[in-house]
Structure 1
Amino acid sequence: MNYGMILYILGWILNFEAAFLTLPCLVAVLYQEQDGFSFLGVAVLCLVIGLIFSHKKPANTSLYAREGFVIVSAGWIVMSAFGALPFVLNGDIPSYVDALFETISGFTTTGASILADVEALSKASLFWRSFTHWIGGMGVFVFILAILPLVGGFNMNLMKAESPGPSVGKLVPRVRNTAMILYGIYFIITVVEFVLLVAAGMTAFDAITHTFGTVGTGGFGTHSDSLAGFSPAIQNIVTVFMILSGVNFGAYFLIIHKKPRQVLKMEEVRMYLGIILASALLIAFNVRDMFGSWGETLRHAFFQVGSIITTTGFATVDFDLWPQFSKTILIILMFVGACAGSTGGGIKVSRITILLKTIKKELRMISHPRSVKKIAMDGHRIEHEVVRSTNVFIAVYFLVFFTSVLLLGMDELDFTTNFTAVAATLNNIGPGLELVGPTQNFSIFSAPAKFVLMFDMLAGRLELFPMLLLFAPSSWKKY
């Protein structure tokens, strides 16, 4: 284990977090709030510690997969631990455990909240709360790699550890250029949505905070009723950008390079859009008597389907009041998630596709034992290693899931609440059902239960294994 490089990169994380924390300071100045001092104080603290760790690059810059996974998981924990401090210092969230829950929920783009009255927060806190979504959406390490060539030829291990999906590749030969392209696309989508929301009647502050929550697929907003109080036009814009943010960003790279036909050949994208269309139409038919017109019904159906499958977590209605059939579809979508290489969470459509192809192959082999059938995706053969890693991921996923549900049972809350609370946090969605429904919050859980859910949020965002490796003694051995 290269401890020198671990501390060096953690130092750079704190340096960047110090820079990020200056933005809510500017918001506080703009709205003449005293809360800016709490963000400024934490920014100075992050900068001092960050400079101590990063002032000198270690002689040994080797960074292999083990270090990459440990650095990423430790980095997200450190970033959240410091990012929670302003909420405590300014009194918006007096309990550090609650502030840490809110901050981890922000950085992991989960959107689960312990707040009952969001409007009571200062503008600076509301901005920071939503801005954490934007930082965590694409990933802070991807951002750092786009700015600084930190670790030479070893930086792909950082991107693999942080990027969501069963496989991570380079869009262009250099990893740094790949990171820059990804953030460039991310920034363009952010700007376009912000402009459209302002044009549709949102204030600039509401537009930027909700854009952060949409593009980062997080779900934090500025109102306790989420997006229910905004116009249909605004809701439709958010629906479109939630769905766009759930698409593999590699598809946008192909579109930019004038290769749209290759996008149409991407099975994962076709499957993702097909699931959204089918789910929304089924739900719309099921809830048709709850709304005044088919237009309104389709708007809410597509919004909630887009919100859940992309793991954004915004809401326009209390879907906990919908019929069981519709709620069941939404729960299934919680597990499916968005595309690999997007800002969304969940198991990912690509893994579901590979799993279905594997099942189909096994059924054919039972019927025709001597047949030789290879699994392919987008016209390319899927290697056995990818199939194996997908099966292992899903097995570990459900092991973590049911262990978390079991641990939450100690709080003596109802099963639906516990089950959907874990589904909402492990899949980085936000709202669940019953006591954690879209009009409720997570403050009902005890401190130990909140730590379980915080682990689930981090594990879900980092694809399980980086967090699990922290508990493996072999991960900390020196070379």
Structure 2
Amino acid sequence: MVTEPLDRSVLSYMHHQLIILDEDIDAATAVKLMHDKKAETIIVKNKKDEYVGIITDSDILDKIVMKGEDSDQVFIKSIMSSPLITISARANVRQALELMRLNVIKRIPVTDNIHILGIVTQEGLAHVIRTSVLEKTFRPYRAVIREHYKPIWGNLGFILQFAGLLFIGPAILATSLGEMKSAIGMFLCITSMFVTGFVLNSYGEKTPMNLRQASVLMVSSFVLLSFFGSIPYMYVNPFYTDIDPFSLVVKSFFESASGFTTTGLSQLLHPEDLPKSFDFYRSFTQWIGGLSFIYLIMAFFYPERKLAHMKSMISGGGLKLKQLLLTITVIFTIYTVVLIILLYIFGYENAIYNLSLIFSAITGGGFVPTSTSLNLQDNMQMLILMTGMIISALPFAFHFAIFSKEMHTTKMRPEIYTYFAIIAVSIIVFYFLIASTDFSSKPMFAMFHVISASTNTGFQLVEMSVLSDQGKILLIIIMLIGGTAFSMAGGIKVGRILQMVQKITKKRFVADASTRSISGVSSRYNNHQDLNRHEPKSEKIKEEKTFREALLIIVLFIVVSFATAIVLWYVEQKGFLNSLFESVSALTTTGITTGITAPNMSNISQIFLIFNMIAGRFEIIAIIYFFLEISKRKH
């Protein structure tokens, strides 16, 4: 197919704004006919029906108007340009322009040697060439957009629209409770998601994505969800009345991001002062973000193999997507209902508060409906919440295996046993570290906070600044380790620790597939068919790449934690260890605070913690993969 504009046929660019008149018609009549037909050119023919001349506006202006002639007395044959130069319909643009240049004319009729088919003008052809040059210049960019970004826009629009549907529930609850300010804020959020989703869908394409595109989609969707989720906060303004607009936006975005990433850090010291529906909305964002509902809907539109990259990023390792969907929608709903009923049985009768509290526990969120929700004296409440927290830190595949005969827990046992061993040892050590405090007589205090930190939930009974430095350091280490792989817990993950130990000691732990990558980034190495095809060399390469990936993640967690801590230390002036604690808490999506996260926290500190929360939600790996892929393309 010819794409060079000069080689295209003149038929592509001719127009039909012309009339054909006899040579004996007077100029006045000809001008009237031109006006009636909206023609730009007159082709003149003689009595033998031969085309003998051409008349344009300039001919009429120069030969009649400027000379003061009476147009009724002037025949068009006396003002026409003759002879008539025509071009064949088989000619191209290059030939037409050359003919115009040689004859010093600006338009040429196109003929099939019998009839006049149309006319091409110098101005029209020049415009086509300019447009073609611009198209040629921007064609590579349009191809890049079509190939790399349209799938992201299309899927992102779909996700936002589905998220908008999910938030209709809290909005209806607010309306039914008569809390109209909350309801309006939520409906504004829903409307914004729908409109943005519609716009993105109109420009994008809902097609399968590669790993890099999935990385961009996941990160950008969490940023946009956090932004739109901040609209109810901005509308309700639960902070203080004289807040400036920029601070309101930053604080609202901080609270929203903390919910969607299941971090649980909050500047709202007395959530009981909020409308009940708004309290529920905050916990609901944790439920949506923690269980990744918004991404699982895509399972209905793509085949399993097309969603491999995305599944690994939403903690779905080891499960087929339908199994993951079943685990999240059914099994975790069962857990939630059972734990809510247990709270009700043991005296907690406020259904909305119970739902909010269990949402936070079972998603590793950490938001509490009231500042007095947690009661250290109530052992049953503590046990119920600790059960929910531990559920959130165990692999999705483990939960599926409990309820299904299709899968066994054997391969997951080394990591789970190691995780529980870490918790047990940490409880004992932490108990002795708080021996000199007022809580030394309460073993439940040590147990609750260690489990809260290790599951990256973020429930806390006291401000962590009262702990000794040794106690803070222990909790920092526990938060960094985090829960098990492919769970809702954050942190480095116990699975990676086992990978490192296995590589260093050169010992293999049972048949637990622990050499397999536990990140979306390396899901290309998770294909067992490819692995078996190239054994044993492929196994070695895969182990080495997995080890390097685990090492990279550990280093990145430490570097980002210290970098953010330095900023907090300088800005907030609360001590470096407290700043490091807060930074790690945000990066591991835990939510335990030393008091830095407070209503008077600076906007700069909030922005850094927001970055930590979103980066930590994907173990920094999605963002890193994006830049690694760009670097690879450059080389």
TM-score, structure 2 as length reference:
0.66
Secondary structure of the residue aligned to 2:250 is helix
**Residues of 1 paired with 2:491 and 2:620: CA distance?**
11
How far is 1:170 from its partner?
4.1
Give the structure 1 partner of residue 605 of structure 2. 449
Residues 63, 151 of structure 1: 8 Å contact kept: no
Alignment of 1:59-98 (within 5 A): 61-93=207-239, 95-98=248-251
Residues 216, 245 of structure 1: 8 Å contact kept: yes
309, 325, 329: which one aligns with 1:179: 325
**Residues of 2 paired with 1:335 and 1:128: CA distance?**
28
Give the structure 2 partner of residue 369 of structure 1. none
Give the structure 1 partner of residue 167 of structure 2. 21
Residues 106, 132 of structure 1: 8 Å contact kept: yes
Secondary structure of the residue aligned to 1:386 is helix
Alpha-carbon displacement from aligned partner over 1:334-368 (angstroms, at most 9, x marks no partner): 11111111111111111122223333x2xxxxxxx
Q: Identify the range of structure 1 (410-419 vs 137-146) with the bigger mean alpha-carbon deviation.
A: 137-146
Q: Which has the higher contact order (CA 8 A, sep 6+)?
A: 1
272, 289, 303: which one aligns with 1:119: 272
**Residues of 2 paired with 1:130 and 1:103: CA distance?**
10
Alpha-carbon displacement from aligned partner over 1:221-271 (angstroms, at most 9, x marks no partner): 112245137733112210122112211121122222258973486111001
Q: Does 1:6 align with 2:158?
A: no
Code of the aligned partner of 1:346: G
433, 437, 460: which one aligns with 2:616: 460
- CA separation of 1:83 and 1:265: change in aligned 2, threshold 3 A: closer
Greater Rg by CA: 2
Give the structure 1 partner of residue 290 of structure 2. 137
- CA separation of 1:358 and 1:432: change in aligned 2, threshold 3 A: farther
Give the structure 2 partner of residue 474 of structure 1. 630
**Residues of 1 paired with 2:323 and 2:427: CA distance?**
37
**Residues of 2 paired with 1:467 and 1:115: CA distance?**
30
How far is 1:219 from its partner?
0.4
Secondary structure of the residue aligned to 1:155 is helix
Q: Identify the range of structure 1 (416-425 vs 220-229) with the bigger mean alpha-carbon deviation.
A: 220-229
How far is 1:162 from its partner?
3.4
Secondary structure of the residue aligned to 2:167 is helix
Q: Identify the range of structure 1 (226-235 vs 196-205) with the bigger mean alpha-carbon deviation.
A: 226-235
Give the structure 2 partner of residue 394 of structure 1. 554
How far is 1:318 from its partner?
4.3
TM-score, structure 1 as length reference:
0.86
Q: Count the aligned residue pairs.
A: 451
- CA separation of 1:268 and 1:134: change in aligned 2, threshold 3 A: same
Secondary structure of the residue aligned to 1:71 is helix
- CA separation of 1:472 and 1:353: change in aligned 2, threshold 3 A: closer
Code of the aligned partner of 1:279: S
- CA separation of 1:67 and 1:320: change in aligned 2, threshold 3 A: same
Code of the aligned partner of 2:394: V
- CA separation of 1:264 and 1:48: change in aligned 2, threshold 3 A: closer
Give the structure 1 partner of residue 259 of structure 2. 106
**Residues of 2 paired with 1:288 and 1:41: CA distance?**
51
Alignment of 1:265-414 (within 5 A): 266-287=413-434, 297-359=442-504, 361=505, 373=506, 375-376=508-509, 378-380=511-513, 382=515, 383-413=543-573, 414=575
In structure 1, runs of 5+ residues without a counterpart are 362-372
**Residues of 2 paired with 1:476 and 1:123: CA distance?**
50
How far is 1:310 from its partner?
0.4
583, 587, 590: which one aligns with 1:429: 590
**Residues of 1 paired with 2:304 and 2:421: CA distance?**
41
Alpha-carbon displacement from aligned partner over 1:54-86 (angstroms, at most 9, x marks no partner): 369738x24101101000101110111101011
Residues 308, 334 of structure 1: 8 Å contact kept: yes
Alpha-carbon displacement from aligned partner over 1:427-472 (angstroms, at most 9, x marks no partner): 1111233x33xxxx34343212211110100010111022345667
Q: Does 1:157 align with 2:309?
A: yes
Give the structure 2 partner of residue 169 of structure 1. 317
Q: Does 1:227 align with 2:383?
A: no
Give the structure 1 partner of residue 105 of structure 2. none
Alpha-carbon displacement from aligned partner over 1:39-64 (angstroms, at most 9, x marks no partner): 112212221222333369738x2410
Code of the aligned partner of 1:422: S
Q: CA RMSD in A?
A: 2.9
In structure 2, runs of 5+ residues without a counterpart are 1-146, 516-542
